[in-house]
A = this chain, B = another copy of it.
Amino acid sequence: MTDLEIAKAATLKPISEIAKQAGLHEDQIEMYGNYKAKVNLKSQRNVDFGDHKLVLVTSINPTPAGEGKSTVLVGLGDAMNQLNKQTMIAMREPSMGPVMGIKGGATGGGYSQVIPMEDINLHFTGDIHALTSAHNTLMALVNNYLQHGNILNLDPRRIIWNRVVDVNDRTLRQVITGLGGITKGIPQESSFDITAASELMAILCLASDLSDLKSRISKIIVGYTYDKVPVSVGELGFEDAITILLKDAFKPNLVQTIAHTPTLIHGGPFANIAHGCNSVIATKTALQLSQYTVTEAGFGADLGAEKFLDIKRPVLGKTPDAVVIVATVRALKYNGGQSVKELTTENIEALTNGLPNLQRHIQNIQSYELPTVVAINRFTSDTDAELELVKEYCESQGVTAVVTESWGKGGNGTLDLAAEVIKLADSNFEFKQLYNDDDSIETKINKIVKNIYHGKSVTFSKKAQTQLKGFKKNGWENLPVCIAKTQYSFSDDASKLGAPTDFNVEIREFIPKMGAGFIVALAGNVMTMPGLPKKPAALNMKIDADGEITGLF
């Protein structure tokens, strides 16, 4: 059975029942159909989470072999509830653009899925569309400011805001707008990103309440004057209108897993150009409501967990009580040099060669001094010898590894992991920060590259060096750093699998994201607008006269 078939065969409970189960009052939810709801808790600032526990699920570097981080996440939430630990899941909303391109969603898989999966993977409750329209409205207002007077003397060549669509459209990567004469604006070179890459998405995911949302929006830098002075949304007076467009999108969305675990899906920022975690407000809501919250971070632990711990954690005001690193035998063998086609064949040598990738992720999480467990997400082709090897290797690194079968068995296949997580989350630990808040941008990058990526050195392009000088002038030199690099390697070269060493990371350019509150450092080329493949998934999709969909996944 396909994921969609399994999802459709599942029996959904009315979302009002799930809400009740999660401890929500009737006046704290707004229904979106019968199986989706928005959650509206009034006060979200300075919440005391008591002894409620947070579990972060991350993974080794992603590979074409598949890791199944979301599947393990969902299975873990279900298993913890089976063990009578009241648990909620908080995860990201998938972007719709890629759904039309490549088969496969981001709501888990098999019997560890969040449903209704068609809705979640398509328009859902409209949050991403609200972001798209807010982002593009801001650009229209900025261009209208240029059109009518431009009192602040904004330089049309130095507008750094652009436009977004939630569509994979390569043709919008580089455009010229404003052609056709005076009534059609000022000609400009510009670009479109996919909505997940919008700074507004990052802001929605980091804001602690509606006031903070507005305050962050007002800090967005849209461009510079002819004198190179940054100009913010607040200086232009657009922050209220943009906040109004996001007021409903800012409320977390409640859905359920196939096993009826209450799940908040809210926000889906890119894990390269942004921090790749679901919203702070959703995680806070889950932490308030339930004894355990399981959540995720984007891509591998080098990008996702690092940003969770260094960017999201301080804003959230809560450190994970346990970290799960998801790995698969297949992905480790791929990291060890085996080709995708041969991954179903036992290969102890390739597996041995790939294990240092896992080792490094373990060491990294250990360097934060966090309780850690490895989840080996089992595929049917994995042999006992292979699984045993991974387990033994993890023991030698001082962590337990637990085999999970979340795809095929749901919570039942994830009970051992749940038991280990529950045990771990009661450990005593003292979180150790990777860098100090008042470290300079250069220092922060050096610490990330040397201690997390395990690279030899960092260099800065001429452009990046010039920008750093400007940042000092603007008072931005102590902001957190969000490194945008390939997710496939610890280095900035996607082809260097395993655990590369002796590499240099070159920072090409910075992008200030004052609303999100971090500086993006570009290492290598970062794709902010995906394209469609030769045979897009859209061609396989069918809908009948009754609205039944097939071929979506």
Chain A residues within 8 Å of B, Cβ to Cβ: 30-34, 38, 42, 96, 100, 122-123, 125-126, 129-130, 132-133, 136-137, 139-141, 143-144, 147-149, 163, 165-180, 183-186, 188, 209-211, 214, 237-238, 240-241, 243-245, 247-248, 531-532, 534, 536, 538-539, 541-543, 545-547, 549, 551-552
Bound complex: CA of A136 vs CA of B96, how far in Å? 12
Partner pick for A173 among B144, B175, B180, B244, CB 8 A cutoff: B180
Chain B residues with CB below 8 A from A211, complex form: 545
Q: Which 6 A-B pairs have the closest CB atoms?
A: A171-B185, A129-B129, A174-B180, A241-B538, A31-B31, A140-B169
* B143 & A169 in contact (Cβ 8 Å cutoff): yes
A171 contact set on B, CB distance < 8 A: 139-140, 143, 147, 177-178, 184-186, 188
Q: Is the CB of A168 within 8 A of B140?
A: yes
- Decide: A175 and B174 in contact? CB cutoff 8 A: no
Bound together, the chains give a CA A148 to CA B534 distance in angstroms of: 6
- Write out the residue numbers on chain B whose beta carbons fall within 8 Å of the beta carbon of A185: 170-171, 173
Task: Please measure, in the bound complex, the distance between the C-alpha atom of A30 and the C-alpha atom of B178, giving whole angstroms.
Answer: 42
> In angstroms, how far is the closest chain B Cβ from the Cβ of A418?
34
Contact call A545/B241, Cβ cutoff below 8 A? no
Task: Report the minimal beta-carbon distance from A533 to chain B, rounded to whole angstroms.
Answer: 8
A397 to chain B, nearest CB (A): 41
Using Cβ atoms and an 8 Å threshold, which residues of chain B touch A245?
Answer: 122-123
B residues in contact with A532, CB < 8 Å: 140-141, 144
* B184→A174 contact, CB < 8 A: yes
Q: Are B534 and A133 in contact (CB under 8 A)?
A: no
Assess whether B130 is in contact with A543, with CB atoms less than 8 Å apart.
no
Q: Which residue of the partner chain B has the closest CB to A248?
A: B123
Within the complex, the shortest CB–CB distance from A545 to chain B, in Å, comes to 4
Q: A173-B184, A210-B546, A531-B144 are in contact. Are A539 and B179 (CB under 8 A)?
A: no
Cα separation A123 to B137 with both chains bound (whole Å): 13
Does A241 lie within 8 Å of B541, measured CB to CB? yes
What are 14 A-B contacts with C-beta separation under 8 Å? A100-B140, A133-B166, A136-B165, A140-B167, A140-B169, A144-B532, A148-B534, A149-B534, A171-B178, A175-B179, A176-B176, A210-B546, A237-B539, A244-B552
Nearest chain B CB to A115 CB, angstrom units: 16
| Bound complex: CA A49 to CA B520 (Å) | 61
B residues within 8 A CB of A238? 538-539
Whether B184 contacts A170 by the Cβ 8 Å rule is yes
**Nearest opposing residue in chain B for A181, CB measure:** B174
Contacts of A169 in B (CB 8 A): 136, 139-140, 143
List of B residues within 8 angstroms of A34 by Cβ: 30-31
Q: Which residues of B contact A139 (CB under 8 A)?
A: 169, 171
A175 to B172, CA, bound (A): 10
The smallest beta-carbon distance between A390 and chain B, in angstroms, is: 38
One of B31, B137, B140, B536 near A32 (C-beta < 8 A): B31
- Closest Cβ of chain B to A9, distance in Å, is 20
Return chain B residues, CB-CB under 8 Å to A163.
165
Contact in complex: A241, B539 (CB < 8 Å): yes
Chain B neighbourhood of A538, CB < 8 A: 137, 141, 238, 240-241
A199 to chain B, nearest CB (A): 17
Q: Residue on B with the closest CB to A187?
A: B171
Give which listed residue, B144, B170, B184, B210, contacts A143 with CB less than 8 A.
B170
Q: Whole-angstrom distance from the CB of A88 to the nearest CB of chain B?
A: 22
Contacts of A180 in B (CB 8 A): 173-174
Chain B residue nearest to A139 in the complex (CB): B169
Q: How far is the CA of A132 from the CA of B130 in the complex (A)?
A: 12
Docked Cα-Cα span, A163 to B171, in Å, equals: 12
Residues of B within 8 A of A31 (CB): 31-34
